[in-house]
Structure 1
Amino acid sequence: MKVELVTTLKRQATKILADLHSSKEPVLITEHGQPSAYLVDVDDFEMMQKRMSILEGIARGEQAIRDEQVVSSTRAKEQMNKWLK
């Protein structure tokens, strides 16, 4: 992963962004020697957001199973049919 100082980002934003778009490699921005932010390609960011959404849905489903808040597929179909009439 590429690491850049925030001052370098301020001075060379266009070049850093061009490198990011061509390499698709995230850039870690540091301030005072500490990690501050990541720059990531837009397509990669959107893909990560979609993955997070899927994982959150799976986690909610797993929690519903642990909480015993589930119904059989037959019961679910019956309930859906009531709503669709």
Structure 2
Amino acid sequence: MKIALVTTLKRQATKILADLHASKEPVLITEHGQPSAYLVDVEDYEMMQDRMALLEGLAKGEAAFSEGRVVSHVQAKERMSKWLK
């Protein structure tokens, strides 16, 4: 992973963005020696958001299963048919 100072980002934003798009490697931006933000490619960010949504859905399903909040296949088909009309 690349690391850049916030002042470098201010001065060389176009170059840093060009490098980011070419390499697809995230850039860690630091301020006063401390991590401040990550700069990532738009496609990578959107993919991460999609993955997070999927993982959250799976976690909700696992929690529902653990709590016994389940329905039979027939009941699920009946519920889904209402939405698919």
Same-fold call, TM > 0.5? yes
Does the residue aligned with 2:68 lie in a helix, a strand or coil? coil
Which residue does 1:61 correspond to in 2? 61
Amino acid at match of 1:52: M
Q: 1:3 to 1:71 in 2, by over 3 A?
A: same
Measure the CA separation in 1 of the matches of 2:50 and 2:80: 27
Paired positions, count: 84
Alignment of 1:2-81 (within 5 A): 2-81=2-81
Measure the CA separation in 1 of the matches of 2:80 and 2:53: 24
Q: 1:80 to 1:18 in 2, by over 3 A?
A: closer
Structure 2 unaligned blocks of 5 or more: none
Measure the CA separation in 2 of the matches of 1:13 and 1:59: 38
Measure the CA separation in 2 of the matches of 1:80 and 1:9: 50
Measure the CA separation in 1 of the matches of 2:79 and 2:18: 53
Structure 1 unaligned blocks of 5 or more: none
Measure the CA separation in 1 of the matches of 2:18 and 2:79: 53
How far does residue 5 in structure 1 lie from its aligned partner after superposition?
0.3
